[in-house]
């Protein structure tokens, strides 16, 4: 990632720069979360070190709390990330990406009812956000997990249309179509998800479950009853 190189250069010029420390930390965390690195453990270790440095001198910086939240989220430590995003919002209530990150953490820690209001707040604050498809996806996820399949399809189609190369958007839409009885359309979306994904993520339910994270017991039960059930109907094998 070119942005990491730029932050590395900035940090070399000023090793005490809060902006460089927090920027490098969050981008290292992002490439771990996006499975774009072969050195995930080293990246996380460095990101944690940079965040500790930044917090020592700028404990009330929203940038630093944002970076720490991103590092924790990349480690799937969602419950610990929540207070960091809340700190960001306490210091800057209009930080829309903190709202969407907090929404994801709420979902995985079992507070699913809090997810959509947080995303809708972000949408009100930034209605022309270029990456709004990701927010539509988050809302679609919740609708599907709560068995509101028609509402899920509406949002997931918007996400797919906005970012057609995102395999996860295709996979969730496949599950929604299948649960709605549209098995042919489900098969098309599942095939696209497989084509676009890395590491054969959508080759089987066993593979998907091994690679993914599905939250606390309450949330995992919802995934089993909806998302996994839909993928099964769409043609994804167990093994």
Residue 186 pLDDT? 98
Q: Which residues have C-beta within 8 Å of that of residue 193, sequence separation ≥ 6?
A: 167, 168, 170, 171, 174, 202
Domain(s) of CATH 1.25.40.10: residues in the chain: 1-93, 96-239
pLDDT per residue over 100-145, tens digit each? 999 999 999 999 999 999 999 999 999 999 989 999 999 999 999 9
Q: Looking at the domain that runs over 96-239, which CATH code has it been given?
A: 1.25.40.10
Dihedral (Cα; 4, 10, 16, 18), 10-degree rounding = -60
pLDDT per residue over 179-203, tens digit each? 999 999 999 999 999 999 988 999 9
Rounded to whole angstroms, the Cα distance separating 229 from 145 reads: 11
Hey, which CATH number is domain 1-93, 2.60.40.1120, 3.60.15.10, 1.10.287.130, 1.25.40.10? 1.25.40.10
Residue 36 pLDDT? 86
Residue 198 pLDDT? 82
Question: Which residues of the chain have a pLDDT value below 70?
Answer: none
Rounded to whole angstroms, the Cα distance separating 229 from 148 reads: 14
**Which residue reads 């939250």 in tokens?**
215
- Note the pTM of the prediction, 2 decimals: 0.94
């Amino acid at each position: 990632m070119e942005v990491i190189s730029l932050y590395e250069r900035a940090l070399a010029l000023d090793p005490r720069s809060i902006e460089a420390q927090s920027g490098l930390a969050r981008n290292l965390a992002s490439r771990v979360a996006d499975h774009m690195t072969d050195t995930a453990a080293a990246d996380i270790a460095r990101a944690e070190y940079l965040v500790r440095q930044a917090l020592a001198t700028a404990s009330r910086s929203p940038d630093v709390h944002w970076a720490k939240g991103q590092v924790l989220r990349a480690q799937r430590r969602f419950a610990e990330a929540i207070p960091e995003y809340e700190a960001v919002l306490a210091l800057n209530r209009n930080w829309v990406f903190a709202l969407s990150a907090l929404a994801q953490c709420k979902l995985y820690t079992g507070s699913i009812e809090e997810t959509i209001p947080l995303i809708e707040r972000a949408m009100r604050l930034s209605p022309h956000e270029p990456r709004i498809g990701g927010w539509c996806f988050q809302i679609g996820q919740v609708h599907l997990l709560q068995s509101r399949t028609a509402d899920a399809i509406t949002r997931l189609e918007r996400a797919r249309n906005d970012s057609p190369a995102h395999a996860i958007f295709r996979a969730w839409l496949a599950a929604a179509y299948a649960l709605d009885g549209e098995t042919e359309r489900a098969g098309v979306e599942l095939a696209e998800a497989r084509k676009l994904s890395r590491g054969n993520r959508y080759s089987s339910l066993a593979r998907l479950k091994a690679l993914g994270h599905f939250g606390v017991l309450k949330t995992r039960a919802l995934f089993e009853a909806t998302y996994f059930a839909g993928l099964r109907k769409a043609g994804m094998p167990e093994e």
